[in-house]
Every structure is written in C-alpha cells, then in structure tokens.
Amino acid sequence: MTTEQGKSLKFRYLPCLLDLDAQKYLAAEIGKIMLVAPLFQPTMPSSGKPFSVEMTNCGALGWVSDKDGGYRYQAAHPVTGLPWPPMPEVLIELWRKVAQTPVMPEACLINLYQGAAKMGSHQNRDEQDFSTPVLSVSLGNEAVFHVGGLNRRDPKTRLTLKSGDVILLEGESRLAFHRIDRVRPGTSALVPGGGRINLTLRRVTAPMQAAV
C-alpha cells in the first residue's frame, strides 16, 4: 500500500497463525479476564454517544473513553476501580515471537463485537510511543476490515479478518486509518453466544532510551 507521499504502509499479516486449540485456549483466558474486569461500554468524548463495541483490558494499563475524560489509558477499570488483570502468558509469548522487540506491551485492549457492532475509521494515537508495533489478534466471527493511509481520505484496502489471524502494525502502518465495518454472523463458534473478539497489544509509555 502507498500513500500520496509514496511511503509504503506495510503491515505483517499472519493469517491463521493460531490453530483452533490455541484460539480456544486464548478465548478461555479472555473469558476469565472478563469475570474480573467486566466489559464496559465506552462513550465518545464530548458527545457522550456510546460505542457499539464493548471493551475491557488486561495488562498494566487499559484504554478507556468517556464524555468527560476523553480517550486515555489508565491503570484502573472505569467501573470497578480495580487494577486490570495481568496479560495472559500466551499473549506475552505471542508478542515475543511476532513483534521481535525487547520493548514489552503495557496494554491489551479487548474489543467485543456482537450483533451490529462496528468501529468507525480512526488512528491509534493515544499512546506516547509510536515506534513500538501494535499486535492484533482476531477471535470468533469474521470481520471486514479496511485499512488506509496516514490521511483520513487515503484509499483503503479491504481484508477479511478470521479467527486466529494476527496482524503486526509496524513502521508507517502503526498510524494508518482503519475501521471494522461489519462482522459476519455464524462464521465461527469460538466466542460463546457468537460475536467477535479482537485483542490489540500496545506499548503506551515511551520505552527507555539508552544513553550514548
């Protein structure tokens, strides 16, 4: 993919990286997290309009949004006030294998898409660090994903994300506009009650720079 400036927006797409057993194990770990850190419905800054996607997090920091505070990361669940549960070891292992950086992720945002839930076009830019990649894992029903460039109006490429697919957003693609327009019901039995879960592992704070 190329922008007007001709910079390529390459991301690493690893279809079916997780086999069915790995998907089941990970889905069960996420189910346990949801018992401690229940799903919440984020709302848009200023308008207060609720997202159609329900969310929770694991890791030291979690992404939240509401009318008063806007988009941000915080160490506590917005409803329970408790710290987020730790990231499951399997996710840390996946990060080590795929991200290939000594920098560790601090947040894992868990998005649950049920029914007509979708996510509008946006960039992930609430972090202090854009140099570390973002790792995305899809579980459950398939979704139609659109990814463009660094400008909202750049043309988008369409991709169907399936259960077990992993994407690494590195370099220029780290700040690409993207959206999920629809989830295809009945395309996977992995998520209880149907639906789709997407995990994104993110570095939030600036990693330490070595003195030279």
Residue nearest to ligand MD3 (CB): 198
Report the residue number, 11 or 40, with the smaller CB distance to ligand MD3: 11
Shortest distance, position 212 Cβ to ligand MD3, whole Å = 31
Report the residue number, 182 or 207, with the smaller CB distance to ligand MD3: 182
How far apart CA 152 and CA 155 sit, in angstroms, is 9
- Quote the crossing angle between the two packed helices 20-36 and 89-99, to the nearest 10°: 130
* Alpha helix ranges (H) inside the chain: 20-36, 89-99
Residue 105's nearest CA partner among 208, 171, 201, 33 is 201
Strand spans (E) along 114-175: 119-122, 134-140, 143-147, 157-161, 166-169
Shortest distance, position 81 Cβ to ligand MD3, whole Å = 23
Report the residue number, 12 or 101, with the smaller CB distance to ligand MD3: 12
> Which tokens belong to 127?
């972090």
Shortest distance, position 122 Cβ to ligand MD3, whole Å = 6
- Which chain residues interact with ligand MD3 by CB under 6 A? 11, 109, 111, 119, 124, 136, 145, 147, 167, 169, 173, 176, 178, 180, 198, 200
3-state SS assignment for residue 3:
coil
Report the residue number, 84 or 145, with the smaller CB distance to ligand MD3: 145
Shortest distance, position 20 Cβ to ligand MD3, whole Å = 20
> Which tokens belong to 61?
């920091």
Report the residue number, 29 or 154, with the smaller CB distance to ligand MD3: 154
